[in-house]
């Protein structure tokens, strides 16, 4: 496993995230998101596709002029005019992307493996002469013949590429295969590898971590996993998993994760699910009696980390599955002491109300039920 200094987080919310069907960021939103990413600690921001011109190019230029600490990357086809457009924006890094799988080469590019290598090498050599940091992207790498992928990686390195982006473009990989594949590439070619994983089978974050474990030095992410189809590996998931599961603290301002997630959610028009890992509002919401009782006694019984670490708060939710410990804890929040007897008397009324309403109770509703049963008390 790499140490924290050798793992680079590459955020592509502004490129792959915006490629989500129906998502469009306004220029000011793109700049605001870039500033957020820089503030929380992202190492490199893939800001968009400069050759699109117009607002896209203006937004990327504005990001490049914002005085951010993060490296700013533009995405390109292996075409000289694309790279020239990136240079014109003022980026310090370029991604040069081309398909490497036979299915893409035959049906999308209508070309040959030799042509793919030729186009990639020409574009990479040009970008290198311009002093750019270069990521060569093997699109659909996960469906690419491994021997050709190794040949592609070797040619990229010889042409001047700084890293190979391994793209699981349609999200078909799983962690065990990813680990073996990345390990094999690393053993064959001395080149840095970036994991770029999609979530079609719900394994984007797991696959990214497996790649890092196999020797990948970079990992591509998006805020809340925004991205094409089922999305990408989520920034907040990868960073927190590295910190808590692998003991690799990248020094991110994780307490800002919820704020950033909520902003991207609003800007993209995509709802932030309550059950979203790391930043969802249910992460630290406890209703079931046994769970709530444990959390009240010691939060670590049912929480993997402290809610404040990502900008959330612990909640004791009063609903159908609540127990007396939850009720007593909730009334303690109100500044009231509920006896064991009162809690046992009140619990059936609470449960009946939640079943009737088909939802948990608001704080005022809990107080009203208490007052109806026991009378209003100071």
> Hey, where are the domains in the chain?
4-268, 285-374
* Backbone φ and ψ of 185, nearest 5°: -65, -45
Q: Is the pLDDT of residue 72 over 70?
A: yes
The DSSP secondary structure of 202-260, one letter per residue, reads: S-HHHHHHHHHHTT--EEEEBGGG--STT-B-BHHHHHHHHHHHS-------GGGHHHH
Q: What is the pLDDT of residue 290?
A: 84
Q: What is the chain's Cα-based Rg?
A: 25
**pLDDT at site 53:** 97
Question: What value does the mean pLDDT take over residues 353-365?
Answer: 93
Percent of the chain with pLDDT over 70: 98
pLDDT tens for each residue of 140-151: 999 999 999 999
The DSSP secondary-structure symbol of 9 reads E
pLDDT at 5: 56
Residue with tokens 């990214």: 208
Give the pLDDT confidence score for residue 105 in this predicted structure.
98
**pLDDT value at position 114?**
98
On whether the 4-268 domain is CATH 3.40.50.150, my answer is no
Give pLDDT tens digits for 270-300.
Answer: 999 999 999 999 999 988 878 887 888 888 9
Per-residue pLDDT at 288: 82
Q: Which pLDDT band, with edges at 50, 70 and 90, does 6 fall under?
A: confident
On the question of pLDDT at 2 being above 90, the answer is: no
Distance CA 44, CA 62 (A): 16
Token pair in block for residue 271:
């709802």
- pLDDT tens, position by position, 165-180: 999 999 999 999 999 9
Q: What whole-number distance in Å separates Cα of residue 104 and Cα of residue 102?
A: 5
Q: What is the pTM of this model?
A: 0.92
Q: Provide the mean pLDDT of the chain.
A: 95
| Tokens read off for 143 | 């469906």
Residue carrying the six token digits 């630290």: 284
Q: Rounded to whole angstroms, how far apart are CA atoms 134 and 289?
A: 54
Q: Which residues pair with 99 in a beta bridge?
A: 139
pLDDT tens digits, residue range 249-278?
A: 999 999 999 999 999 999 999 999 999 999
Give, as one character, the DSSP assignment of residue 198: B
Min mean pLDDT across 36-40, 83-87, 252-256, 342-346 is at 342-346
């Amino acid at each position: 496993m790499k140490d924290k200094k050798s793992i680079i987080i590459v955020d592509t919310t502004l490129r792959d995230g915006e490629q989500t069907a129906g998502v469009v960021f306004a220029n000011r939103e793109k700049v605001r998101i870039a500033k957020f990413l820089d503030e929380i600690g992202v190492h490199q921001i893939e800001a968009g596709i400069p050759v699109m011109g117009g607002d896209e190019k203006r937004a990327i230029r504005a990001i490049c002029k914002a005085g951010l600490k993060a490296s700013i990357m533009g995405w390109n086809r292996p075409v000289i005019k694309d790279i020239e457009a990136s240079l014109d924006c003022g980026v310090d890094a370029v991604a040069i992307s081309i398909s490497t799988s036979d299915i893409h080469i035959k049906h999308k590019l209508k070309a040959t493996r030799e042509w793919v290598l030729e186009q990639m090498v020409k574009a990479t050599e040009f970008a290198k002469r311009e002093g750019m940091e270069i990521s060569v992207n093997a699109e659909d790498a996960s469906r690419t013949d491994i021997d050709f992928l190794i040949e592609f990686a070797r040619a990229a390195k010889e042409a001047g590429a700084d890293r190979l982006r391994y793209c699981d473009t349609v999200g078909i990989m799983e962690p065990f295969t990813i680990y073996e594949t990345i390990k094999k590439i690393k053993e064959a070619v001395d080149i840095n590898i970036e994991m770029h994983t999609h979530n079609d089978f719900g394994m984007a974050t797991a696959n990214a971590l497996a790649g890092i474990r196999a020797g990948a030095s970079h990992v591509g992410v998006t805020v809340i996993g925004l991205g094409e189809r089922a999305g990408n590996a989520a920034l907040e998931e990868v960073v927190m998993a590295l910190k808590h599961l692998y003991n690799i603290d990248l020094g991110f301002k994780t307490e800002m994760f919820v704020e950033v997630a909520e902003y991207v959610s609003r800007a993209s028009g995509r709802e932030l699910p309550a059950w979203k890992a790391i930043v969802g509002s249910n992460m630290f919401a406890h209703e079931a009696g046994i769970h709530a009782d444990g959390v009240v006694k010691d939060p670590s019984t049912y929480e993997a980390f402290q809610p404040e670490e990502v900008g959330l708060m612990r909640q004791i939710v009063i609903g159908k599955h609540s127990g007396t410990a939850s009720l007593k804890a909730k009334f303690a929040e109100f500044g009231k002491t509920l006896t064991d007897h009162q809690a046992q008397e009140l619990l059936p009324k609470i449960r009946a109300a939640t079943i009737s309403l088909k939802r948990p109770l608001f704080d005022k509703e809990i107080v009203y039920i208490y007052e109806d049963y026991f009378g209003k008390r100071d």
